[in-house]
Structure 1
Amino acid sequence: MPDYDVIIVGAGSVGVPTAMALADKGVKTLVVDKHPSVGQGENKHAIGGIRATHTDPAKILVCLKSLDVFSTWRERFGQEIEWLKGGYIFPVYRETEEKLLKSFLPFQKEYGLNIDFKGPDDIAAAVPGINREGLIGGTISPDDGSASPLLACNFFFQRARALGATFQFKADVTGILVEKGAVTGVATSAGRFSAPVVIDAAGPYSADLNRSLGVDIPVVSESHEGAVTEPVQMFCPAMVVDMRPAEGSLNYYYYQNKHGQLIFCITPDPPIPGTSHDETSRFLPQVCSRMVSLMPRLKHIRVRRVWRGLYPMTPDGSPFVGWNRKVDGLLHATGMCGQGFMLGPGVGEVVARMVIRNETPEDRIVLEKFSLYRDLGAGMEALK
């Protein structure tokens, strides 16, 4: 008899909430991870933003569910994950972004997103101190927010264990075991474990994991840097996203967390492939000049720490969630493209229903859009 019903590879932003969702449905679940505890891979490098503001219906549906989990966690379980309903704001200074964002509104509202395009006075009121010169307006989605990735992952872990999930740490997976075209378990540095279903939640290491059984999955690791400042009095809890490209970057974004610290990140252009976690000397001058240009009041805030994390990227900026068609029992939940923290709880619930064969009509929309076998040449999601 197999040891477990399901084995999840990866105890991070996707693997842990997936274990929680599976255990809640009575599925005997094991999570294996090479690190000594949960969230020690890329989860601890996440900056904490959570939004349903996307242009992909699958991401909207999944993240609306994630928002429900994050926003009600303290009320339901009495645990502080530092959820802050600050919203997401995309300020607009060019006609290009104005037309683009306005064109998405009917579609976004159709799928349940609370969002509107506001004029410059509303944007200036929501982002005190923003540069008013040339400001046209922007979108505000007030139900989006932020939370602590480490606290959330830890409490999801505690909940998963309370529901019966098992976690095996310091277990580096050396291969997925297959017999006659079907998954039978995993081999790890801590021994072998058997199950008829293995879920790939290995993020930037998914390509190597799948290569062990001859499966090619187009997930490529890219490096992104982030930083956090000293705490200051709260003035803008919203995640502010400047979509304008600049030399060396496509966009950048920042928000103020519950402690008053500003946390910020940039999207490098061209991308930086690889698995290096080493900080660079380019990041701070590049992002800080952009931030001060948008928000002059930030020029005297001191930066406390800089770090570098990995984004498991797919060709079109959307995840892979679904059954593998070549290996029976292999289920992919990977390639979150740097959005694993916000997608994790929603993806976990979809995956749990897949395992017990009880998908909803909304799940089918998600699975079609996130299929490994979709057309990957359609282009990157506009709000990636």
Structure 2
Amino acid sequence: MTQPTSIPHYDVIILGAGSVGTPSAMYLAEAGYKVLVLDPGASVGQGSNKKAIGGIRATHSDPAKIRLCLRSLEIFSNWEKWYGEDIEWVQNGYMFMAYREREQKILQDLLVTQKSYGLNIDWYDPQQLLDIVPDLNPEGLLGGTFSPEDGSASPLLSAHRFYEHACRAGADFHFHEPVTKMITRSGKIVAVETPTGTYGADVVINAAGAWARPVAQLVGVDVPVNPDSHESAVTEAVADFLKPMIVDIRPMPGSSNYYFYQHRTGQIFFCITPSPNIWGFDTEETSEFLPMVTRRMVEVMPRLKNLRVRRTWRGLYPMTPDGFPIVGWAEEVENFLLAVGMCGQGYMLGPGLGELILRLVQNQLTENDQETLSFLKPTRQFASQELLK
């Protein structure tokens, strides 16, 4: 039904100007769609995006995320060449270490899937790992995987670049405008309301991150996405000594894994995955975080013990029951596209996913897209588990 002329009408309205919504807006606008992005924040990337530490990897355990992140890596690594803009991209790789047979088996078993989907990764023995990172603790080290094409970039710089290109292509961004209501008619969303406006739309995309569930509930759709609090920190700057992102997936009391890397400024960024999960929207720092994570880091790399921590912060991971994103059309509402539940990996998934969202809206999916979406579909049973969360 045609919207009243008093209501601005858009081809696509995106709810959320973060790691997924902003790249999606760029690709859709560049393809000629009239796009509006609504976000409650003051500017782009002010939700969970600005809390990310910048790691970008295709080293995952499932084909969907491997494929999407391989494309994201291609975009991030070529951004400066394509656009002449610095996003602080550094390609130093990811290293997953094994100090126990359990982790060794997990990492080695995953190589079959990872290699079959095009990931440049191999198993390295202890000496080979030490050749790359001499400061690793060699005691008990069984080996690990290394993927040299993974890397890192600046989440805020990247978000701003996607935003600028989206705006140049004609996308509108309205900040300080949380969605408060979605008007449906005959099983479709016809308009979106905020405290300051009403906007018609042909397609509405939920890219609201940790707030995806309450947004979806506005149209009677329940997506199993719940916010989980994770803490991060950064140290003082020191001379360059560490290249890859170091990931230790051993579950320990209080945490299931942790990871750290040295930024090109010399600072060490690090984060830990709490176990059990810390559900809710609380982003206040805790006293438990630093003692827990630093103990684990110094065990693996004793050289870190003299570094001074400059700042800690806490962000939200929008988690799904199986650790995989939810991407696809909602069954309950015909034109409601879900791009939610990134499980803390929205930054690395965002560019590849943005292109996939464009093809979904265009109804021009490739055979690979169909396979990717089969792993991420909203109607799945959520029975499997991501092994490299």
Q: Taking structure 2 as the reference length, what is the TM-score of the superposition?
A: 0.97
* Structure 1 Cα separation of the partners of residues 355 and 381 of structure 2: 25
Query: Does 2:388 match 1:383?
Result: yes
The answer for the alignment partner of 1:337 in structure 2 is: 343
Q: Distance in 2 between matches of 1:177 and 1:99?
A: 51
Matches within 5 A, 1:181-200: 181-200=187-206
- Of 223, 226, 230, the match for 1:220: 226
Counterpart in the other structure of 1:210:
216
Structure 1, gaps ≥5 residues long: none
The corresponding residue for 2:90 is 84
Question: In structure 2, what is the equivalent of residue 319 of structure 1?
Answer: 325
1:136 to partner: Cα distance: 1.1
- Counterpart of 2:357 in structure 1 is 351
User: In the TM superposition, what whole-angstrom CA distance separates every residue of 1:49-69 from its partner, at most 9, and x where no partner exists?
Assistant: 100001110000000010011
Contact 1:92 1:135 in 2 (8 A): yes
Match of 1:171 among 152, 169, 177: 177
Q: Which residue of 2 aligns with 1:46?
A: 52
**For residues 135 and 110 of structure 2, what CA distance do their matches in structure 1 show?**
27
Give the Å deviation of 1:237.
Answer: 2.4
Q: Secondary structure at the match of 1:196?
A: strand
Alignment pair present for 1:73 and 2:99: no
CA distance in structure 1 between the aligned counterparts of 2:219 and 2:115, rounded to whole angstroms: 42
Following superposition, the deviation at residue 105 of structure 1 comes to 1.0
Alpha-carbon separation, structure 2, partners of 1:178 and 1:263: 45
- CA distance in 2 between counterparts of 1:135 and 1:260 reads 26
Equivalent position amino acid for 2:373 in 1 = L
Picking from 251, 256, 278, the partner of 1:272 is 278
Q: Distance in 2 between matches of 1:137 and 1:185?
A: 55
Q: Which residue of 2 aligns with 1:118?
A: 124
The residue number in structure 2 matching 1:255 is: 261
Q: Deviations over 1:141-200 (max 9, x none)?
A: 000000110000001100111111111111011022211110112111221111110000
Partner of 2:6 in structure 1?
A: none
What does residue 150 of structure 1 align with?
156
**Stretch of structure 1 that moved more, 284-293 or 176-185:** 176-185
The alignment's TM-score, normalised by the length of structure 1, stands at 0.98
**What is the rounded CA distance, in whole Å, between the counterparts of 2:30 and 2:131 in structure 1?**
43
Does the 8 Å contact 2:48/2:315 carry over to 1?
Answer: yes
Aligned position for 2:242 = 236
| Contact preservation (8 Å) 1:6, 1:30 | yes
- Distance in 1 of aligned mates of 2:44 and 2:100: 42
1:159 maps to: 165
- Is the contact between residue 262 and residue 269 of structure 2 (CA under 8 Å) also seen in structure 1? yes
- Distance of 1:20 and 1:362 partners within structure 2: 22
> Is residue 366 of structure 2 the alignment partner of residue 360 of structure 1?
yes
Whole-Å Cα distance in 1 between the matches of residues 221 and 36 of structure 2? 22
Is the 1:223–1:276 Cα contact (8 Å) retained in structure 2? Answer: yes
Give the distance between the partners of 2:343 and 2:370, measured in 1 at CA: 21
The residue number in structure 2 matching 1:369 is: 375
**SS of the counterpart of 1:173?**
coil
1:11 equivalenced with 2:17 (yes/no): yes
- Encode CA deviations 1:315-350: one digit per residue, 9 max, x unaligned: 000001100111010000010000000000111100
CA deviation string 1:78-130 (max 9, x = no partner): 11111110100011111111111111112111100000000111111222211
Q: Structure 2 CA distance, aligned partners of 1:183 and 1:246?
A: 46
Query: Any idea what the Cα deviations from partners look like across 1:184-233, whole Å, max 9, x if unmatched?
Result: 12111221111110000001111111111111111111100000111111
Percent of residue pairs bearing the same amino acid type: 54
C-alpha distance in 1, partners of 2:88/2:195?
35
Q: Is the 8 A contact 2:121 2:148 kept in 1?
A: yes
Instruction: Give the match's secondary structure for 1:185.
Output: strand
| Alpha-carbon distance in 2 for matches of 1:8, 1:213 | 15
Offset of residue 36 of structure 1 = 1.2
Let me know the Cα RMSD of the aligned residues: 0.9
> Contact conserved, 2:181 with 2:192, CA < 8 A, in 1?
yes
One-letter amino acid of the structure 1 residue matched with residue 386 of structure 2: E
Aligned length: 383
List runs of 5+ in structure 2 lacking aligned partners.
Answer: 4-8
Question: Aligned residue for 2:309?
Answer: 303
Read off the aligned partner of 1:356 and give its amino acid letter. Answer: Q
- Given that 2:62 and 2:113 are in contact with CA atoms closer than 8 Å, whether structure 1 keeps it comes out as no
Whole-angstrom distance in 1 between the partners of 2:282 and 2:22: 24
